[in-house]
Amino acid sequence: MQELKNYIQHFIDLDQNEWEELSALFTKVHYKKGEHIYGDTEVSECLYFIVDGIVRSYKLEEDGKDFTWTFHCLNMDTLSHRMLMDIAVVDYVSFTQGVPEELAFEVLIGATLMKVRKKDLLALYASNPKWQQFATKMAEDSYAIMRERTFNLLTKSAKERLDQLEAYFPGVFEKNVPVEHIASYLGITRQSLSRLQREKEI
């Protein structure tokens, strides 16, 4: 919990009373490897902040294939290039607009998360302009992540995307994340990923 507090306070200036006001809304939940926090077609009524473990968000296509959107984990060592929304496990469009989710969330490594209900968070936002800043920060980060993710896929080479992944999620290959999910995130095949890894070792 302390690490989550430090992470959030890196982005939002909260005093002890404000942090206690926010954390009082949290419920701690645990998920095992392979479990889904929620799947596509549901409407997000809760926001989860990841404390431990790794969660994958992905889009399931009609042909049964899935496309990995991102990996969610809390890593204090990468704050210089991370965002607040990196630890938020939620389909933000579904959460804010009340529409069915397009993303599903699968636990890759047993995860501990802090859950807050949408109605409680909205009441908090309405209670103090400071919390509206918190909401604005999450909205800004959500857009920034989507923009960067899209531009990376459109403009960067596979090698550049791999380098960026390893900087953003250090040790991702050592954390037992399935290779097919990493390749999907990069927008390449498993064979292409293996080739890139071999080239990096030369």
The per-residue pLDDT for 40 is 63
Per-residue H/E/C for the chain: CHHHHHHHHHHCCCCHHHHHHHHCCCEEEEECCCCEEECCCCECCEEEEEEEEEEEEEEECCCCCEEEEEEECCCHHHHHHCCHHHHEECCHHHHHHCCECCCEEEEEEEEEEEEEEHHHHHHHHHHCHHHHHHHHHHHHHHHHHHHHHHHHHHHCCHHHHHHHHHHHCCCHHHCCCCHHHHHHHHCCCHHHHHHHHHHHHC
Q: Where are the domains of the chain?
A: 2-155
Cα–Cα distance measured from residue 168 to residue 166, given in angstroms and rounded to the nearest whole number: 6
Q: Minimal CA–CA distance to 159: which of 135, 132, 195?
A: 195
Chain-centroid distance, C-alpha 115: 14
Burial label for 41, CB within 10 Å (0-12, 13-18, 19+), is exposed
Q: Report the pLDDT value the prediction gives residue 170, as an integer from 0 to 100.
A: 82
Angle between helices 158-168 and 179-186 (to 10 degrees): 120
Residue position matching structure tokens 């919990």: 1
Q: Which fold has domain 2-155?
A: Jelly Rolls (2.60.120)
**Considering the entire predicted model, what is its pTM?**
0.90
Instruction: Spell out the per-residue pLDDT of the chain, length 202, in tens.
Output: 889 999 999 998 889 999 999 999 999 999 999 999 976 678 889 999 999 999 999 998 877 788 999 999 998 888 888 899 999 999 999 999 999 888 999 999 999 999 999 999 999 999 988 899 999 999 999 999 999 999 999 999 999 999 998 888 887 888 788 999 999 999 999 999 999 988 877 6
Which pLDDT belongs to residue 192?
94
**136-170: buried (b, 16+ CB within 10 Å) or exposed (e) per residue?**
ebbeebbeebeeeeeeeeeeeebeebbeebeeebe
